[in-house]
Chain A
Amino acid sequence: MAWRIGRKKKKDMPTGIWSKCSECGSTIYNKELVASSMVCPNCGFHHTVGGRQRIEMTVDPGSFIEHFTDLRPEDRLNFVDKVSYAEKLEKAQAKTGNSDACIAGVAKIQEHEVVLSILDFAFMGGSMGEVVGEKIARAIELAEEKKCPVIIFSASGGARMHEGAISLMQLAKTCAALNRFKEKGGFSISVMTNPTTGGVTASFASACDILIGEPGALIGFAGPRVIQNTIRQELPEGFQRAEFLLEKGQLDLIVPREEMREKLSTLLDYSAHGNRVRA
């Protein structure tokens, strides 16, 4: 039997009683933060949302059916830095209750059937290894099969270096699937949330039909620290934030979290698939 939201312990919620907002420094009760969809009540910053909470706040209640849960990552290169990759995987699995950083499945958004794919930053920084790449590709192919749109939410530090060139090849794998989907008339939406960088931004997250950013989200190819180390200058104000990208012509639109479901539904209405579903 497929499982639904709410049946599982929510392990991707903030722990402790209160958190400090990284943007404005104010102290917020975690209950309040979760209730406000992780948007700071003081400054409005859109903090990273856990994968499960994202599903809950995006789809019609109870409509999400998860797929591809049998895919499990492996430490194929026997990658060891201070600890082994295998150990890191186990820790991340215990912490999040998920097998890897991608959660994918079928859901409804205001009655529109969609395939939804979400990168969970809580799992090794949402990084993309083989299983994440495979799940994204399968999600796109599932949408192709079901003739419905695919929506991908990203929060990721990029490709997972513990899988070496295998993780690099996931850029190609996910784009191969998107190219095919596009050729067959599929409609894809990418939502980039704080933060989305590296090989994720440089592949499927920027290769969808419509590119959405959440307010204030850090979105870029190289991380700000890497850039600062390269150019050895102060970075401009607001650099690599969603608003900056929009101004530079790199995003189609910015959608605040509280309007996300509504806006996605409107976009789905416009897509050919959306019409078909409605008819």
Chain B
Amino acid sequence: MASQKKKKSAETSNILPFEKPLEEVRSRLEELEALAGKTSQDLGEELEFYRDRLNRLTKEVYSDITPWNRVQVARHPDRPLVSDFIDHCCENWVELHGDGSFADDRAIVTGLATLGTQRVLLVGHRKGRDTKGRMACNFGSAHPEGYRKALQKMRLAEHMGLPIVCLINTPGAYPGVAAEERGQARAIAENIRDMFALKVPVVAVILGEGGSGGALGIAVADRVGMMENSWYSVISPEGCASILWHSADGREKAAEALQLTSEPLLRLGIVDKAITEPSGGAHRDPEGALEELKEQILFWLDELLALPPEQLLEERHLKFRNMTRSISVLETAMNPAQTGHEEPLPDPFSASERRAASLEPTQEPDSEA
């Protein structure tokens, strides 16, 4: 692809360690392609051979990457950002700034956008592409005013009857003095609580990094997706490593232990879908990845816009209320013997019955007396 060739020098410096075997084949292929343009010699067979080899090797390497490799892909400098989504997938973009009381946090962008024929409010973490841009966006780590801006605009969307699309890409909310002074925790808590009350559809997708409360602060949604090579967890692998392994070197182990990739999160029901990325990761074909993402968002919005608001709110509540309940926790809601309740409870996911099950005080464990 022409655009890829142009970017070649930039890409060479952005090669992830585990991608090196791929890069050797790719550079050989590129040499051949350049040669084929200059000579009358028929290189068709050889080109075919290297293309095939690159495809197979890419699949092989990516089928076997570690959770830490996934984190590296999620942070790849060429990975599509929210700003790319706006440029590539949104028409009639109108950015709306500020939280209405303190400041305009550039780490979270909000605005009106048209996806295909669907008008939406877009909320997303902004990371910046170059050093200057990254610094201006505080590397995607928002302050409280960012979360308050998001909530204020989401309420505007509710007022205007527009569905909400949230794109998450943050290492975490900013841990700084000013952020604490202005109530980082409270801003995030209020977002999480109040997003349950928004009477319009909300779709959230983890684009790259889904770091803890800073991600969840704009990720309470009716459908939650994640890009195939993104991560989503309670803490970054580095943060976890520094606490439990007492060094940043433990990050590979931490990434593994945290189960922060799409497969386990799908299994746990924390995300609804892993959105397939182009072969070799979204950084190999950003536009292809964004197209796929846009299609999935539009598909979900279609589904959700058909629901009456009451049902939407009830389902959103139950989705998170019942999320990740382990078998033993479910059993205490279902098993009348354990709770002292007399009647069997047919549906563990029914809110009223679950509550009824937990009404009676429970047995004292004998062993402690």
Contacts and interface: CB of A to CB of B under 8 A. Distances in A.
Nearest to A128: B234
Interface in A150-187: 159-161, 163-169, 171-173, 175-180, 182-183
B175 A66 contact: no
B358 interface: yes
B189 A67 contact: no
Nearest to B186: A206
A57 interface: no
A206 B338 CA distance: 32
Nearest to B175: A222
Interface in B122-147: none
Contact of B213 (A82, A171, A250): A171
A261 B27 CA distance: 73
Contacts of B175: 221-222, 226-227, 230
Interface string A76-98: 11011110000000000000010
Contacts of A250: 183, 186
Interface stretch (A31-39, A40-48, A141-149, A264-272): A141-149
Interface in A226-254: 226-227, 230-231, 233, 235-236, 239-240, 244-245, 248-250
B25 interface: no
Task: Identify which of B177, B258, B317 gathers the most chain A CB atoms within 10 Å of its CB.
Answer: B177
A142 B192 contact: no
A178 B321 CA distance: 11
Given A172-B216, A173-B323, A199 B176 contact: no
Nearest to B239: A226
B194 interface: yes
A230 B139 CA distance: 13
Given A81-B244, A177-B321, A71 B329 contact: yes
Contacts of A161: 234-235, 240, 243-244, 258
Contact of B257 (A77, A138, A222): A77
B180 A67 contact: no
B32 interface: no
A74 interface: yes
- Between A137, A144, A165, A177, the greatest number of chain B beta carbons within 10 A of the residue's beta carbon is seen for A165
Interface residues of B, number: 71
B270 to A, nearest CB: 5
Given A165-B265, A222-B184, A71 B257 contact: no
A134 interface: yes
Nearest to B181: A248
Interface residues of A, number: 83
Given A68-B332, A70-B339, A179-B317, A172 B362 contact: no
A206 B189 contact: yes
B180 A168 contact: no
B328 interface: yes
B268 A70 contact: no
B115 interface: no
Given A171-B216, A199-B212, A250-B183, A69 B365 contact: yes
Given A138-B358, A221-B175, A248 B183 contact: yes
B119 to A, nearest CB: 26
A277 interface: no
A68 B362 contact: yes
A142 B358 contact: yes
A1 interface: yes
A165 B363 contact: no
Interface string B188-226: 111011101100000000000000110011001000000
A131 B324 CA distance: 11
A226 B253 CA distance: 20
Nearest to A1: B364
A207 B212 CA distance: 17
Contacts of A1: 363-364
Interface string A175-219: 111111011000000000000011101111111000100000001
B268 to A, nearest CB: 6
Given A81-B245, A222-B175, A173 B361 contact: no
Contact of A169 (B182, B194, B320): B320
A3 interface: yes
Nearest to A203: B189
Nearest to A82: B244
B179, B181, B354: residue with the most chain A Cβ atoms closer than 10 Å: B181
B61 interface: no
A216 B123 CA distance: 37
Given A164-B260, A222-B184, 10 more contacts: A1-B364, A66-B362, A82-B244, A130-B329, A141-B358, A161-B235, A166-B268, A201-B189, A202-B188, A239-B177
Interface of B: 173-177, 179-186, 188-190, 192-194, 196-197, 212-213, 216-217, 220, 232-235, 239-240, 243-245, 250, 253, 257-260, 264-265, 268, 270, 317, 320-321, 323-326, 328-329, 332, 338-339, 351, 354-356, 358-365, 368-369
24 contacts: A7-B369, A69-B362, A77-B264, A80-B257, A130-B329, A163-B234, A164-B233, A165-B233, A165-B259, A165-B260, A168-B213, A168-B216, A171-B213, A172-B216, A199-B212, A199-B234, A202-B213, A221-B175, A221-B179, A221-B184, A221-B188, A222-B176, A236-B177, A250-B186
The 10 closest A-B pairs by CB, nearest first: A222-B175, A2-B361, A201-B185, A206-B189, A3-B364, A221-B185, A221-B184, A179-B196, A168-B234, A175-B193
